[in-house]
């Protein structure tokens, strides 16, 4: 186990242990304890391992300014979260300053996403802001700030986090421990000690760890055991051996891992005994610990158990294959000759990969005469080995076999010998073999290889009479880029090919943004084939270019409603006043599908002109139009939308009312009042009252005891949680809550 992996295990175990302690409610303004003296600075190397990787925006092909602008304009919390993840990698103080006000955004999950982004940016300004947020009286914001401080990689964050980690009455205690683990350092044992009793010298810490490892709840024991493994204290081996044999299961596992870290003759001997006589879980952990330790003694113990007839030894063999030496190879060959099928599968890949002649020979035998599963297993081994004799054998199998075996062999060969002329010849033979599955697989493999010969073979298949083969060849050509020759062949197929080939070729050309594709789209949108026109319209939406928008603008007058609905999406991407006028016109379309698409698109536009149209539809439209408008109103910032939604929460149609409730997450105080009125209406629709209760809780509205009781009755009591956003503690709709 690597140093980093050991650290993660210890930190996780420690946080679980602390999470089970009695947690008092956090109170704003409560005095915090002084930082523990035992918390020490981490090394530069350790900091480097754990600090979030930060790169320049240009190197990542991103624009910091554009990302900030997109986050500020984004309508949904999910979109903000995704954009914030990207910005965290490239952001600077400019981003921190621009996004700081969004910490107060009331949409569920937005504040946490912004705080996480600031933590990943990790500048001095980031640390200043996050430290200030530790005083915030909103628990979810404070929790998120605690977690984000760990992402900064800043030594300055350690003192604040250590203070929280030592306060058993602070709900953010376990989050702070995780955050300290993210920062890294050599202070975990001291921290565990201080959490238990207090102290500041290493001998005392070790002594206290000995006590904790033998007493207390299993979680605390496991944490102390892991700390002892890292301590290097030889005296710890006796305790660890006893716990590895007699402790609770999670303590056993931790003790075995700790013995592997501690090392020494006693530890090796104990691990050997566990491999021979422990339960299945302990056997696997002990075998891996011996493999990690290495050395003659550990190797001899693993070989001894592997050679013994003691049932399932696959986990021991898995550990043994990680070691090297003539004695190891001899033992593994014995397993191949005389072991069970499961044991052979555990060791044969390693020997084949190392080029062992006997193992390669056996793999070839299995690939040619074994069962279907054995053939697949053996062929994959031969391909993975990369040895000439192995891949030559695989080529021979492909030449002699047919069907699935031939297909799989060629696919594997294409990954290790893609330019081999013999392989290309085999693929071309399969392409025109008349065997459907084999031909289609060969087409895709040729497309991935991408050689001139492969391209010519696929071009020939496109112009052939076999529709299935032509369709497969068109798809395969799409993997090869857009050379003039390929585009010309696809254009011919789109003009005169069979129906499925025609459609597929057109979509490929449109998606490439090529002139041929635009010409085909124009012809399809003006043509009489509605299926072709619809597919062209939807393909153009994904392009987003000026030519694509121009073509779709003309499609708003199409006779096909699905084509008109697709055109709406292009108008949104254009974002100009003329496009907005077009969308508003389509809200009065004769087809309900088009009207709904247009109303939804206006929510993405977000302008005053769009808001006016939406509020008109929400107040005077049909129920279907109201529902579409309500969903869109929830996305815009116009202050009038909040009052409109509040009014619609009381709509006589239950579906409209419920849609308004769930769209009102971003509204103002009038939304709270409407929801509370609905909650208090004992004669109201039960499902609407339940939806109102759920929304009130999600919005974090301060309710009196009477209203809180009603909310609990309708949606259940709120589950208590520990830790911050990103560590399992956030209980909102985007963090694993209701």
pLDDT, tens only, 563-583: 888 778 767 766 667 778 888
Q: What's the pLDDT at 234?
A: 80
pLDDT band of residue 321 (cuts 50, 70, 90) is confident
Angle at the Cα of 383 from the Cα atoms of 378 and 384, rounded to 5 degrees: 95
Q: What span, in angstroms and rounded, lies between the C-alpha atoms of 34 and 597?
A: 59
Q: What span, in angstroms and rounded, lies between the C-alpha atoms of 381 and 321?
A: 15
**pLDDT(628) > 70:** yes
Q: What is the pLDDT of residues 253-283, one digit of tens each?
A: 888 888 888 888 888 888 888 888 756 768 8
Radius of gyration of the chain, Cα coordinates, nearest whole angstrom? 33
DSSP letters for 308-362: S--S--HHHHHHHTTS-SHHHHHHHHHHHHHS-HHHHHHHHHHHHHTT-HHHHHH
**pLDDT(11) > 60:** no
- Decide which of 725 and 213 is more confident: 213
pLDDT band of residue 111 (cuts 50, 70, 90) is very high
Give the lowest-confidence range in 48-52, 373-377, 610-614, 707-711. Answer: 48-52
**pLDDT(730) > 60:** no
Is the residue at 726 inside a domain? no
CATH code of 454's domain: 1.25.10.10
Q: What's the pLDDT at 366?
A: 83
Q: In three state form, how does the secondary structure of 644-657 look?
A: HHHHHCCCCCHHHH
Q: What's the pLDDT at 27?
A: 30
CB 191 within 8 A of CB 224: no
> CB neighbours of 26 closer than 8 A, spacing ≥ 6?
139, 142, 169, 170, 171, 172
**pLDDT(129) > 90:** yes
pLDDT band of residue 190 (cuts 50, 70, 90) is low
Q: Which domain holds residue 433?
A: 421-512
Residue 560: which of 588, 584, 586, 525 has the closest Cα?
525
Q: What is the pLDDT of residues 650-708, one digit of tens each?
A: 888 899 899 888 888 777 888 889 999 998 988 888 999 999 898 888 888 888 889 98
Distances, alpha carbon 601 to alpha carbons 571, 586, 594, 595, in Å: 8, 10, 10, 10
Residue 103 burial class via C-beta count within 10 angstroms: exposed 0-12, middle 13-18, buried 19 and up: buried
Tokens of 277: 């006589």
Q: What span, in angstroms and rounded, lies between the C-alpha atoms of 277 and 282?
A: 9
Q: What span, in angstroms and rounded, lies between the C-alpha atoms of 571 and 518?
A: 17
Give the CA dihedral 430, 434, 436, 440, nearest 10 degrees: 40
Q: What is the pLDDT of residues 220-252, one digit of tens each?
A: 677 678 777 776 778 888 888 888 888 888 888
Q: What span, in angstroms and rounded, lies between the C-alpha atoms of 412 and 377?
A: 12
Q: What's the pLDDT at 23?
A: 28
Place of tokens 């982004």: 117
Q: What's the pLDDT at 493?
A: 80
Q: What's the pLDDT at 154?
A: 84
pLDDT band of residue 115 (cuts 50, 70, 90) is very high
* CA 611 and chain centroid, separation: 35
Find the length of the chain. Answer: 738
Q: What is the pLDDT of residues 36-88, one digit of tens each?
A: 333 333 333 444 334 455 555 555 556 888 899 999 988 888 889 989 988 98
Hey, is 675 helix, strand or coil? helix
| Averaged pLDDT score across all residues of the chain | 77
Hey, is 437 helix, strand or coil? helix
> CB neighbours of 368 closer than 8 A, spacing ≥ 6?
375, 397
Is the residue at 460 inside a domain? yes
Find the mean pLDDT for residues 302-318. 74
Please give the helix or strand (H or E) that residue 727 lies within, else none. none
Orientation of helix 592-605 relative to helix 577-586, angle to 10°: 150
Q: What's the pLDDT at 6?
A: 36
Is the residue at 438 inside a domain? yes
Tokens of 263: 């090392």
Q: What's the pLDDT at 188?
A: 46
Distances, alpha carbon 344 to alpha carbons 311, 313, 407, in Å: 14, 11, 25
Is the residue at 471 inside a domain? yes
Is the residue at 540 inside a domain? no
Residue 97: which of 79, 82, 83, 117 has the closest Cα?
117
Q: What span, in angstroms and rounded, lies between the C-alpha atoms of 294 and 297?
A: 8
**pLDDT(311) > 70:** no
Q: What's the pLDDT at 278?
A: 58
Q: What's the pLDDT at 208?
A: 63
DSSP letters for 540-602: HHHH--HHHHHHHHHHTT-S-HHHHHHHHHHHHHH-SHHHHHHHHHHTT-SSHHHHHHHHHHH
Q: What span, in angstroms and rounded, lies between the C-alpha atoms of 83 and 90?
A: 11
pLDDT band of residue 443 (cuts 50, 70, 90) is confident
Place of tokens 């210890």: 10
Is the residue at 21 inside a domain? no
- Percent of the chain scoring above 70 in pLDDT: 81
* Domain tally, the chain: 1
**Taking the CB of residue 99, how many other CB atoms lie within 10 A of it?**
25
pLDDT band of residue 182 (cuts 50, 70, 90) is low
Find the mean pLDDT for residues 346-369. 80
Place of tokens 């929830």: 634
Find the mean pLDDT for residues 367-375. 80
Highest mean pLDDT among 191-195, 308-312, 515-519, 734-738: 515-519
**pLDDT(736) > 50:** no
Q: Which sign, positive or negative, has the C-alpha torsion 298, 299, 304, 309?
A: positive
Q: What's the pLDDT at 100?
A: 94
- Decide which of 489 and 672 is more confident: 672
Residue 192: which of 161, 160, 225, 215 has the closest Cα?
225
DSSP alpha helix (H) spans, 134-169:
139-152, 156-165
Place of tokens 């092909």: 61
Q: Which sign, positive or negative, has the C-alpha torsion 216, 219, 225, 231?
A: negative
Residue 670: which of 650, 646, 693 has the closest Cα?
646
672: left (phi over 0), alpha (psi -120 to 50) or beta: alpha
Is the residue at 445 inside a domain? yes
Is the residue at 558 inside a domain? no
Q: Give counts: helices (H), strands (E), the chain.
A: 44, 0
Q: In three state form, how does the secondary structure of 446-482 look?
A: HHHHCCHHHHHHHHHHHCCCCHHHHHHHHHHHHHHCC
């Amino acid at each position: 186990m690597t140093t980093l992996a050991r650290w993660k295990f210890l930190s996780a175990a420690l946080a679980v242990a602390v999470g089970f302690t009695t947690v008092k409610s956090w109170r704003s303004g409560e005095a915090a304890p002084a930082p523990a003296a035992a918390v020490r600075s981490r090394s530069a190397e350790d900091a480097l391992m754990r600090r979030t990787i930060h790169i320049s925006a240009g190197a990542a092909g991103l624009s910091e300014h554009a990302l900030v602008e997109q986050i500020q304009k984004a309508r949904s919390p999910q979109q903000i979260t995704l954009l914030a993840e990207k910005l965290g990698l490239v952001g600077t103080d400019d981003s921190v300053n621009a996004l700081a006000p969004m910490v107060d955004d009331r949409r569920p999950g937005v504040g946490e996403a912004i705080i996480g982004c600031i933590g990943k940016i990790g500048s001095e300004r980031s640390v200043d802001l996050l430290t200030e947020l530790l005083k915030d009286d909103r628990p979810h914001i404070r929790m998120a700030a605690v977690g984000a401080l760990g992402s900064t990689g800043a030594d300055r964050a350690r003192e604040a986090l250590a203070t929280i980690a030592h306060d058993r009455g602070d709900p953010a205690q376990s989050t702070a421990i995780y955050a300290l683990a993210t920062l890294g350092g050599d202070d975990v044992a001291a921290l565990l000690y201080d959490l238990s009793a207090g102290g500041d010298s290493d001998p005392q810490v070790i002594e206290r760890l000995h006590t904790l490892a033998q007493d207390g709840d299993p979680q605390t024991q496991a944490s102390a055991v892991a700390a002892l493994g890292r301590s290097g204290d030889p005296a710890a081996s006796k305790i660890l051996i006893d716990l590895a044999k007699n402790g609770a299961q999670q303590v056993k596992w931790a003790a075995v891992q700790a013995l592997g870290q501690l090392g020494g003759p006693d530890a090796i001997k104990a691990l050997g005994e566990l491999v021979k006589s422990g339960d299945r879980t302990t056997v696997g952990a002990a075998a891996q610990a011996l493999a990690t330790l290495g050395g003659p003694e550990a190797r001899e113990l693993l070989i001894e158990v592997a050679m013994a007839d003691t049932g399932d030894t696959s986990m021991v063999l898995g550990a043994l294959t990680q070691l090297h030496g003539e004695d190891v190879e001899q033992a593994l060959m014995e397993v191949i000759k005389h072991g069970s099928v499961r044991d052979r599968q555990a060791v044969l890949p390693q020997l084949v990969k190392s080029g062992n002649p006997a193992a390669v020979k056996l793999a070839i035998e299995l690939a040619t005469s074994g069962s279907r599963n054995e053939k697949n297993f053996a062929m994959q081994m031969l391909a993975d080995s990369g040895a000439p004799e192995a891949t030559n054998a695989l080529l021979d199998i492909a030449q002699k076999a047919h069907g699935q075996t031939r297909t799989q062999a060629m696919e594997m060969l294409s990954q290790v010998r893609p330019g081999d002329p013999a392989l290309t010849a085999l693929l071309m033979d399969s392409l025109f073999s008349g065997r459907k599955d084999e031909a289609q697989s060969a087409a895709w493999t040729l497309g991935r290889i991408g050689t001139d010969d492969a391209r010519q073979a696929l071009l020939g298949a496109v112009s052939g009479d076999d529709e299935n083969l032509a369709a497969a060849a068109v798809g395969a050509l799409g993997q090869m880029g857009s050379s003039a020759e390929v585009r010309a062949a696809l254009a011919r197929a789109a003009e005169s090919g069979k129906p499925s080939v025609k459609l597929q070729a057109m979509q490929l050309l449109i998606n490439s943004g090529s002139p041929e594709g635009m010409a085909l789209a124009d012809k399809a949108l003006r043509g009489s084939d509605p299926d072709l026109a619809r597919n062209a319209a939807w393909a153009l939406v994904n392009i987003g270019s000026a030519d694509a928008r121009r073509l779709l603008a003309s499609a708003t007058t199409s006779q096909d409603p699905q084509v008109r609905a697709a055109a709406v999406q292009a108008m949104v991407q254009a974002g100009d006043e003329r496009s907005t006028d077009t969308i508003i016109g389509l809200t009065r379309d004769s087809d309900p599908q088009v009207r709904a698409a247009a109303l939804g698109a206006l929510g993405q536009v977000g302008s005053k002109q769009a808001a006016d149209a939406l509020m008109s539809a929400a107040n005077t439209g049909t129920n279907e139009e109201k529902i579409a408008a309500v969903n869109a109103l929830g996305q815009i910032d116009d202050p009038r939308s909040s009052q409109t939604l509040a009014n619609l929460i009381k709509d006589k149609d239950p579906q409209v009312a419920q849609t308004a409730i769930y769209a009102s997450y971003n509204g103002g105080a009038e939304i709270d009042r409407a929801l509370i009125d609905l909650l208090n209406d004992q004669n109201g629709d039960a499902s609407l009252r339940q939806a109102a209760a759920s929304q009130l809780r999600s919005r974090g509205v301060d309710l009196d005891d009477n209203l809180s009781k009603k909310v609990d009755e309708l949606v259940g009591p709120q589950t208590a949680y520990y830790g911050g956003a990103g560590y399992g503690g956030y209980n909102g709709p985007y963090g694993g809550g209701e």
